[in-house]
Amino acid sequence: MRSVLGSWQTFDLGYISQETTGDISPLLKVFILAFVAALAWSAIQPYSYIAWILDAIPALAAFVVVMITHRYFPLTPLANGLVLVLCLLILVGAHYSFGKVPFFDWLKPLFGSERNNFDKLAHFFQGFSPAMVLREVFIRFDVFRDRRWLVAIVPSLCLALSAAYELIEWAVAVISRDGAQDFLAIQGDLWDAQSDMALAVTGALISLALLSPWHDRQIDRIN
């Protein structure tokens, strides 16, 4: 058991040290390969190319930011991994349309629901993943002397991010009218936007509660 933990720690430190020197580390290569493979699969015969473009933009933006910043501000493996998970969820939703992901259609009878809730999982991770990235930025730039502020500030920013995305969806709906149904994935839920934001802030709170100790250890290795 100790040898396994020691190997992981060495790999983990290797990731950070290579990132700091500007080289592409093994874990970052995995990030790139996984993202590119998912992007290529997602773009092949999606449910709607217009909806795909609209849905995939956040994942593409996140990937570009990671690629631009990895040389001078490499994220910890935990934060990078969570960014990748969120990107993969977005690309799956973009391919099928968030309201039509097959596996979640199969789950509807199990939960006695008529709604495909894949989009709700994605919105949960819209808070769960960014929470660790924001936490890392605040800690490494020493923004707060008392880290307890992070418990309030990070979920608030995740909620603001989710609200901003809902406003973007609203703007797209106003512009494209009926053509925005696949992008919005409302599925007849009048409270869709509110529940999306609630899930995002819930995801942020759970992320902080579960992952902060592990995240602190990785940050300490960088500092």
Indicate if the pLDDT at residue 186 is higher than 80: no
pLDDT at residue 10, rounded to an integer: 41
pLDDT at residue 64, rounded to an integer: 97
Indicate if the pLDDT at residue 116 is higher than 70: yes
Q: Which structural domain range is residue 57 located in?
A: 2-222
Of residues 130, 39, 54, the one with CA closest to residue 97: 54
pLDDT digits (tens, 9 = 90+) for 118-169: 999 999 999 999 999 999 999 999 999 899 999 999 999 999 999 999 888 8
pLDDT at residue 181, rounded to an integer: 58
What dihedral do alpha carbons 62, 65, 66, 67 form, nearest 10°? Answer: 120
Pick the more confident residue, 40 or 115. 40
Burial 12-32 (b: 16+ CB within 10 A, else e): beebbebbeeeeebebbeebb
Q: Cα dihedral sign for 187, 189, 195, 199?
A: negative
Range in 17-26, 51-60, 94-103, 194-203 with the lowest mean pLDDT: 17-26
pLDDT digits (tens, 9 = 90+) for 21-51: 446 788 899 999 999 999 999 999 998 898 8
pLDDT-derived band at 188 (thresholds 50, 70, 90) equals low
Task: Supply 223's token pair.
Answer: 């500092």
How many distinct structural domains can be found in the chain?
1
pLDDT at residue 205, rounded to an integer: 98
Range in 53-67, 102-116, 118-132, 177-191 with the lowest mean pLDDT: 177-191
pLDDT mean across residues, the chain: 85
